[in-house]
Amino acid sequence: MSLATDIGKTAIPAVRFPSRLKLRRPKLDAVAPFLVPVGLIVLWQIASSLGLIGNRLMPAPSQVLSAGWEKLISGELAANIGVSGLRAISGLLVGGSISFLLGLANGLSRTSFTLTDTTLQMIRTVPNLALIPLVILWFGIGEEAKLFLTSLGVFFPIYLNTLHGVRTVDPQLVEMGQVYGMRGWTLFRRVILPSALPSIFVGLRFALGIMWLTLIVAETLSANSGIGHMAMEAREFMLTDVVVLALVIYALLGKLADIAVRLLERATLSWHPAFQAVTRS
């Protein structure tokens, strides 16, 4: 590896492509991922305008846009996004922190693992959405229901991956740390946690996906605010443009969450070979 990168550092510049090409490349890389979605929207708009797609069932992008604008002006959109976002984040915080701590505890302590892991694995096999009838009976359609479901949804990806990360710490590094006098918190902070971090991030990404999924279902079934509620209300009045608007917003929020994790990864995993190409170029 070091041979290749060292050569790349010094030998390549002499034979590099003309600077015109070199300058254009990063721009293309930034734009390319959006070519397909934008192209599809353009095609969709054209098909709608030509009347190939019926407006009643599938609105044109321009209609979705104007619906979005209306909701934005009225403040309804911001309020609903705010409510949904708050639900998502609080679910992630509650479920995520409990599962993270349990994952750490079970990875570090044999006793804790023996006592709790089997129970958790049994609960894991129950799809969390199957609990909706019960949850509605318990909590009604209040915030507790949504918090409970999203917390449960994010719980297992984070728990499993944290546990896996802690258990796969290189025992040679742990021994080295102990030889050099690291104990308890220092050993955890300098050896175990950084080593488990890539795995924890994998769990976090899975959790974010499940977080939105759970929230959407919970909001569509039982809520009086939020994006899901907005979509359900629009269905009753056959406002397909608002329904599609809700979908678009979910897609954007999901992408936003993914970007946030990526930035977090880049900030904390810059040592990792997989992230070095990004930081260097």
Partner 1 sequence: MSQIIEGPRRTNVWGKDIEPDYLEPRTRAKGLRSGGHAISVRGLEKSFGDVRVLRGIDLEIPAGQFLAVVGKSGCGKSTLLRLLTGLDEPTAGEFAFSDAGGKPVPPNSRIVFQEPRLLPWEHVLDNVTVGLGRGVKSGAVREQARAALAEVQLTEKADEWPGRLSGGQRQRVALARALVSQPDFLALDEPLGALDALTRITMQALVDRVWREQGFTALFVTHDVGEAVALADRVIVLDQGKIALDITVAVSRPRERGTAEAAGIERRLLAAIFGS
Q: Which stretch binds partner 1 (CB under 8 A): 89-97, 160-168, 182-190, 238-246?
A: 182-190
Name which of 127, 126, 148, 121 is nearest 137 in CA terms: 148
Q: Assess 1 for contact with partner 1 (CB under 8 A).
A: yes
Rounded to 10 deg, the angle between the 193-221 and 227-236 helix axes is 20
The site for partner 1, by CB under 8 A, has a size of 31
Q: Label residue 222 exposed, middle or buried (CB < 10 Å: 0-12, 13-18, 19+).
A: buried
Integer Cα distance of 227 and 243 in angstroms: 9
Segment 183 to 242, residues that bind partner 1, using CB under 8 A:
186, 189-191, 194-195, 197
Residues 259-278 that bind partner 1 (CB under 8 A): 269-273, 276
- Check binding of 5 to partner 1 (CB under 8 A): yes
| Owner of token pair 């974010």 | 208
Q: Which of 10, 19, 125, 281 binds partner 1 (CB under 8 A)?
A: 10
CB of 245 to partner 1, least distance (A): 43
Q: Could you say which DSSP state residue 239 is in?
A: -
Which residue type sits at 271?
W
**3 state SS of 153:** helix
Write the binding mask 37 to 56 for partner 1: x where contact by CB under 8 A, - elsewhere. --------------------
Min CB(264)–partner 1 separation in Å: 15
Nearer to partner 1, 7 or 263 (CB): 7
CA 138 to each of CA 50, 224, 280: distance values in angstroms, whole numbers, following the listed order: 51, 17, 53
User: Using an 8 Å Cβ cutoff, are 38 and 209 in contact?
Assistant: no
Over the window 142 to 181, marking each residue x when it contacts partner 1 by CB under 8 A and - when it does not, the resulting string is: ------------------------------xx-xxx-xxx
Q: 239: how many CB neighbours lie within 10 A of its CB?
A: 17
Distance CA(119)–CA(129), nearest Å, equals: 19
| Residue 11 sits in the site that holds partner 1 (CB under 8 A) | yes
3 binds partner 1 (CB under 8 A): yes
Among the listed residues 9, 22, 25, 255, the single contact to partner 1 using CB under 8 A: 9
**Would you say 153 or 177 has its CB closer to partner 1?**
177
Query: Can you tell me the distance from the alpha carbon of 49 to that of 91, in angstroms, rounded to the nearest whole number?
Result: 42
Q: By the criterion CB under 8 A, which residues form the site for partner 1?
A: 1-3, 5-7, 9-11, 172-173, 175-177, 179-182, 186, 189-191, 194-195, 197, 269-273, 276
